[in-house]
Amino acid sequence: MISTWINASTDHGPAPAVTAGTGSVRYPVAQELPRFWAAFVLQDFLPTTRPPFRAPCGNESIVDSHMFAFIIKRTAQAMVVMLIISLIGFAIKQSVGDPIREITGISVSAQEREALKEKLGLNDPFPVQWLRFVGKALQGDLGNSFYFKRPALQVILSKAPATLELVFSTSVLVILLSIPIGIYAAVKPTTWLARFFMGASIVGVSIPVFLTAILLIYVFSVGLGWLPSYGRGETVEIFSGWQTGYLTVDGLKHLILPSIALSSIMLPLFIRLIRAEMKEVLETEYIKYARAKGLKSSRILFVHAFKNTLLPVITVGGVQLGTLIAFTILTETVFQWKGMGAMFIESVERADTSLMVAYLVFVGFIFVLVNTLVDLIYGLVNPMVRISGRK
Amino acid sequence: MKRLVVILSIVILAGSGLARAATLRLAMDADPVSLDPHVQLSGGMLQYSHMVYDPLIRWTQDVQFEPRLAEKWERLDPLTVRFHLRKDVRFHSGNPFTAKDVAWTLARLKKSQDFKGLFEPFAEPVIVDDHTIDLKTKKPYGLTLNMCTYIFPMDSQFYSGKDDKGLDKDAIVKTEYSFANEHESGTGPYYVESREPGQKWVLKAFPEYWDKNRGNVDTIILTPISEDATRVAALLAGDVDFIMPVPPQDFDRIENSRGIQLITMPGTRVITFQLNQKRRPEFKDAKVRQAIVYAVNNTGIVDKIMKGRATVAAQNSPPGYVGYVADLSPRFDLEKARQLMKEAGHEQGFVVSMIAPNNRYVNDEKIAEAVASMLSKINIKVELKTMPKAQYWDEFDAQVADIQMIGWHSDTEDSANFFEFLYMCPNKETGYGQYNSGNYCNPKVDELTLASQSETDRAKRATMLQEVERILYADAAFVPLHWQMLSWAGSDKLRNADKIVNVMNFPYFGDLNMD
C-alpha cells in the first residue's frame, strides 16, 4: 500500500498530462489510479488510431529564458513533493509505535524510558521534530537507525545493491520472456499455446506475489531441493560496499526464485501489452503494404511492426520500474533477501522509525528525481510541454 | 581378543576425531542487536552473551546452578557471597581473566539502563585476590546467585580508554555507534569473526577456550530470518541446521518430516489478563474477579487454540520455581461463575473493554477473542481491540481498557519478580507494580514479596512466595491462562540439541555436538 502512495504523490508533481504529437503518451488515467492497475487496464484504453510517430525536434529559438523559469518551477515543485513525502512519513511514524519500547528491556523503569525519549528528541512536538528532520535532511543527514546504530542513509545505501540486482535480473527476465511471447500471442492468437500464455498470465497476475514466492520455495527448495530457499548466497565485493551475487554460481542460484517471483507481477502485464500493441500494428495499412510488397514475414514482424510497438511499452516500462521496486518489499521479505525492501518491513516491525522515515524519503527522492529529470528532458526536446506548463 | 579391543578403540577414537569441526547454520527470527551485552536486556542479547561471553554461573536444564567462570562459591554472611574464579581463562583479546574484570563488569551493569534495576541490590564488591571476589549486597539478598547468571565478565583492559574516534570504549550506547557495540572481547566459546547486522554473523570457536569438554561446532553462521514460513522452509530444505523459534502452526509438519527433530519444553512465560479495578468498580469485588476466572476455560484454550503446545496455568510461578504451589489448579466452572455473578449482584452483566497485542505472544489475538466470547456466557460483553506490539505497550501503560493482556517472564527466574512487577501496589516512587494495570493492591502481598527479597534461606523464601501465590489465587487478582511452550527445531545431525536448550531459551551452543 505504501508503494501506491509513493507513486501517487510523485505523480501529482510535474507529470504533464498528454504530450500530443510525440507518440509517447502519458495517459491521464495513470495519474488517478495506482500505476500497476492503471497500466494493466491501459490496454483497453489505447487509442485505436495512433498518431504516427514523429521525432521530437528541438527548436532552438524557443530555448530561452523561459527554459530557465521552467527548470526553476519544476525544481520547486519537486521540493514541495519531497516536503509532502517527509510529512506523510512523519505522520506514519507517529502511529507505528514507540521505538523506546523496542530498544529497552521490559523491566526498565518508566523514568529511564522517559529520559531516553527526551534524549532522542521524541518528546518534542510534531512540527519541531519534523523541522529538525528537514533541516538535517537538507545537509544529507537522514537520522540514525536505532537498530543498526548507524546513519540511516548509510544503512539504506548498503542495502541498495541487493535490491538493484534483484530488480535488474527481474527486468531482464521480463524483457527476454515478454517480447517473444507477446509477439507470438499476437501473431498466432488462436493456437493453444497462445491461449495457454494468456490464461497463465491472468493467473500469474491474480496470485499475490508473496504466495507465488512461498509456492516457489515449497516446490523448488523444499520439495525438489533444486534451489536455495532464502538469502543471497555467496557474494563478492566488487567495489566498496557493493556486494554482488552475480559473480558466483551460488549467488546466481539464489537469484533465480526471487527474480521469478518478482517478475510474476510484471511479466503478464508486458505480455498482454505487447500482444495488444502488436495486434493493432499488424492491422495497419503499412504492414499490409509490406506484406503486399513481398517482404519476409520475419522482417515485417521484428523490424517494421515490433519497432512501432516499442514506444508505449517503454513508456509503461519506465513507470513500472517504480512499481517493481515497491514489490521488492514483499519479495524480499519472503525470500529474506536482505535489500532495502526487507529492511523497510523490518524497520516497521521493530519500530525503528528513523530508518523507516529515511527509507520513505530516500525512495521518494529517487522517484521525484527521476520524474523531474524526465520532465526537464521532455521540456528540452519538446517545447510544447513548457508552453502548456506555463499557462 | 586384546588386539580387537585395541583396534576397536582406535576406530572409535578416530571416528570421534572425524566428528570434530562442524559448522552450524543457525537461523533465528532476529539477530542480537549489538556486540555489547549490556546494551539491552532481551532474549536475543542473552543468547548472544552465552555464545561470546561466559557467565560466572549458569542455569542447568533443571533450573539449578552450574559453575562456569566461578568454580565454586560460598555464602560468608547474609550480605556476602565469595566466588572462586577459574585461573585458566583468557579473553578473546588474549588478556587473562581476573577478579578485576568481574568488579569492572558489575560496575558497568549498574550503569546500564536495562540492567541497573536488577543490580540495584548490589554494593561495591571486594577483590580478595586475582581469582577470588566477594560480591556484596546492600541488604541481605536472596537472589545473589540468580543475578550472577547475568554477570558475563567483560575484558576490562580491552574496554578501557578511548577509541580512535576519541570516545570512551566502555560507553553503553543504545542507538548510535560505540566501541562496545562493534567490538567484543569475552571469554566465551565463540568469537565474532564477522557481522553484518540484520544479515549474517560468522562466529568461530575460540581456540584458547578454557572448557575443553565442549562440543564440536567450530563455526556458527547465524542468519536472521524474520519471516516464519521462510525460516521453516529453510530448515526443511536443508539450508539451515537449527531454527528458533518454531512457529506453532508448523509443529506437526516438522515432527512429521524425516531427518528433522522438534524440541519443545514447557516455558516459563505466563499469559494473563489483568482486571482494572480503578477503571471498573465492579472489579473491586473479588466475587466478580473470581467469576471471570471461573468463566475462562483456559484448559480449552490450551487444547483448541494452542493445540496442546502450552501448559495450563492457575498461578504465575511455573513448576520448578520456588513459589510454585502444586495444589493450585485451573478453575473452569461456568455454573459457579454464574452463581458468583449473581451473588455479586451483576447477574445482568455489564460491558467492558479489552485490549491485547496481535503479534507479541503465540496466538495472542485468538486467545483474546476466545476469552471475550467465554465472558459473554456470564453476560459480560467485551469490546475487544487488538494491535501490534509496537503500539500495544503505550496503550497498556495508559490503561486504556478495563481488561488488558500481559505475558510475563521472570528475568530472575524467581517467583518474586512476577509479584514485584505485576501485583504489588503500583508505586511510581519505588517502581513496584510497574505493569500492574489491574491496580490490584494487597498490603499482605507487598509485605511478603519485600520480605522475600532479603531472605537468604531458600526454604523460608519458598514459604513466603507460595503464600503470595495462594493469596493471588484466592483473590483472583488476575486471570491465568497458560505458560507458553518453548520450541526449537533442527536437523538430526545435531546429536545433543535437546540437551543444550533450556527453559530460559539460551541454548548453550558451545556444548553442541554435530555429525
pLDDT digits (tens, 9 = 90+) for A48-79: 344 444 444 444 444 567 777 878 888 888 88
- The Cα B478–Cα B472 span in angstroms is 7
Instruction: Give the separation between CA B244 and CA B28, rounded to whole angstroms.
Output: 5
CB-closest option in B174, B388, B421 to A107? B421
Closest residue of B to A155, CA-based?
Answer: B197
Q: What percent of chain B has pLDDT over 90?
A: 69
pLDDT of residue A385: 54
> Which residues 81-120 of chain B have a CB within 8 Å of chain A?
113-114, 116-118
Q: Which residues of chain A neighbour B176 with C-beta distances below 8 Å?
A: 144, 149-150
What was the pLDDT predicted at B55? 95
Q: Tell me what percent of the residues of chain A surpass a pLDDT of 70.
A: 80
Average pLDDT value for residue range A268-284: 87
Mean pLDDT on B326-341? 93
Per-residue pLDDT, averaged over A19-32, amounts to 37
Q: Residue A220's closest chain B neighbor by CA?
A: B237
CB contact, 8 Å: B266 with chain A? no
For residue B117, list chain A residues with Cβ-Cβ distance below 8 A: 107-109
Of A150, A225, A346, the CB nearest to B177: A150
Tell whether the model's pLDDT for residue A390 goes beyond 70.
no
What pLDDT does A190 receive?
Answer: 85
Helix (H, G, I), strand (E, B) or coil at B490: strand
User: Would you call B431 and A109 a contact, using CB atoms and an 8 Å cutoff?
Assistant: yes
Rounded (5°) CA angle A342-A107-B405: 75
Average pLDDT, stretch B500-509? 91
Query: Which one of B116, B178, B230 has the shortest CB-CB distance to A230?
Result: B230
Q: Does A224 touch chain B (CB under 8 A)?
A: no
Per-residue pLDDT tens digits for A144-198: 888 888 899 989 998 888 888 898 899 899 889 988 898 888 888 888 888 888 8
List of residues 6+ apart from B63 with CB closer than 8 A: B320, B321, B413, B502, B503
Selected residues 191-210 of chain A with any CB under 8 Å from a CB in chain B: none
CB atoms within 10 A of CB B387: 18
Residue A214, chain B, CB below 8 Å: the answer is yes
Q: Judge: A230–B233 Cβ closer than 8 Å, yes or no.
A: yes
Question: Closest partner residue to A105 among B114, B233, B428, by Cβ?
Answer: B114
Interface test with A, best of B110, B227, B260 (most A CBs within 10 A): B227
- CA pair distance A300, A281, nearest whole angstrom: 11
Task: Count Cα atoms within 13 angstroms, Cβ side, for A209.
Answer: 24
Q: What is the ipTM of this complex?
A: 0.79
Please tell me if residue B43 touches chain A, with a CB cutoff of 8 Å: no
Tell me which of A93, A103, A107 to substitute to probe the interface with B (most B C-beta atoms closer than 10 Å): A107
**B369: confidence class by pLDDT, cuts 50, 70, 90:** very high
Detail the DSSP E strand segments found in B448-495: 479-491
Upstream peptide bond of A16 is cis (omega within 30 degrees of 0):
no
Report yes or no: A150 at the B interface, CB cutoff 8 Å.
yes
Cβ separation B233–A214 shorter than 8 A? yes
pLDDT band at A35 (very low <50, low <70, confident <90, very high): very low
Burial zone of B126 (CB within 10 Å; 0-12 exposed, 13-18 middle, 19+ buried): middle
Taking alpha carbons only, the member of B203, B234, B231 closest to residue B217 is: B203
According to DSSP, the residues that pair with B72 across neighbouring strands are B84
Average pLDDT rounded to a whole number, residues B129-157: 92
Distances (CA, A) of B75 to A358, B81, B144, B413, B451: 54, 4, 10, 20, 19
Q: How far is A212 from chain B (nearest CA, A)?
A: 13
Q: Which residues contact B324 (CB under 8 A, 6 or more apart)?
A: B315, B317, B318, B415, B466, B469
What's the pLDDT score for residue B301? 94
Give yes or no for A294 touching B (CB within 8 A): no
Q: Is the pLDDT of residue B127 over 50?
A: yes
pLDDT at A20: 37
Angle between helices A306-335 and A2-11 (to 10 degrees): 140
Confidence of residue B425 (pLDDT cuts 50, 70, 90): very high
Could you tell me the pLDDT band of residue B336, with boundaries at 50, 70 and 90?
very high
Residue A29, pLDDT > 70, answer no
Under the banding of pLDDT at 50, 70 and 90, the label for residue B299 is very high
Mean local confidence (pLDDT), B303-323: 91
What is the per-residue pLDDT for B437?
A: 93
User: In terms of pLDDT, which residue wins out, B485 or A97?
Assistant: B485
pLDDT band at residue A379, thresholds of 50, 70 and 90? low
CB < 8 Å to A120, chain B: 175
Residue B9, pLDDT score: 53
Residue pLDDT, tens place only, B55-93: 999 999 888 899 999 999 999 998 999 999 999 999 999
Question: In chain B, which among 153-182 make CB contacts under 8 A with chain A?
Answer: 173-178, 181
Given a contact cutoff of 8 angstroms between Cβ atoms, the answer to whether B204 and B193 are in contact is yes
Kindly state the average pLDDT of the residues B260-273.
92
For residue B2, the model assigns a pLDDT of 56
User: At which residue does the C-alpha cell 519500530 appear?
Assistant: A351
Does position B208 have pLDDT exceeding 80, yes or no?
A: yes
Q: Which residues of B touch A103 (CB under 8 A)?
A: 33, 40, 174-175
Contact of B309 with B499, CB cutoff 8 Å: no
All residues of chain A having their beta carbon less than 8 Å from the beta carbon of residue B41 are 105, 107-108
* pLDDT for B16: 47
Asked if A334 has any chain B CB less than 8 Å from its own CB, the reply is yes
Residue B484, helix vs strand vs coil: strand
Instruction: Delineate the domains of chain B, giving CATH numbers in brackets.
Output: 9-248+492-511 (3.40.190.10), 266-485 (3.10.105.10)
Res. A40: pLDDT tops 50: no
Contact A14, A77 (CB under 8 A): yes
Report the SS3 class of residue B347: coil
Arithmetic mean of pLDDT over chain B: 90
With contacts defined as CB-CB under 8 Å, which chain A residues touch B388? 97
Q: How much of chain B, in percent, has pLDDT values that exceed 70?
A: 96
- A229 and B CB contact within 8 Å: yes
Length of chain B: 515
**Residue located via cell numbers 551485552:** B37
CB-closest option in B117, B199, B238 to A108: B117
Q: Are B234 and B240 in contact (CB under 8 A)?
A: yes
Asked if A150's CB is within 8 angstroms of B174's CB, the reply is no
Q: pLDDT, tens digit, for every residue of A351-365?
A: 888 899 999 999 888
Residue B391 with chain A: CB contacts under 8 Å: 95-98
Q: Does B388 touch chain A (CB under 8 A)?
A: yes
Residue positions counted in chain A: 391
* B165 neighbourhood in chain A, CB within 8 Å: none
- How many Å from the N-terminal Cα to the C-terminal Cα in chain B? 30
CB contact under 8 Å between B237 and A221, yes or no, is: yes
Q: What residue of A is the nearest CA neighbor of B417?
A: A107
State pTM to two decimals.
0.81
| B136 within 8 A of B125, measured Cβ to Cβ | yes
Q: Residue A36's pLDDT is what?
A: 39
**Does the pLDDT at position B430 exceed 70?**
yes
Cβ atoms B296, B479 nearer than 8 A: yes
Q: Where residue B20 falls among pLDDT bands split at 50, 70, 90?
A: low
Supply the pLDDT for residue B160.
92
Nearest to B117 among A102, A107, A146 (CB): A107
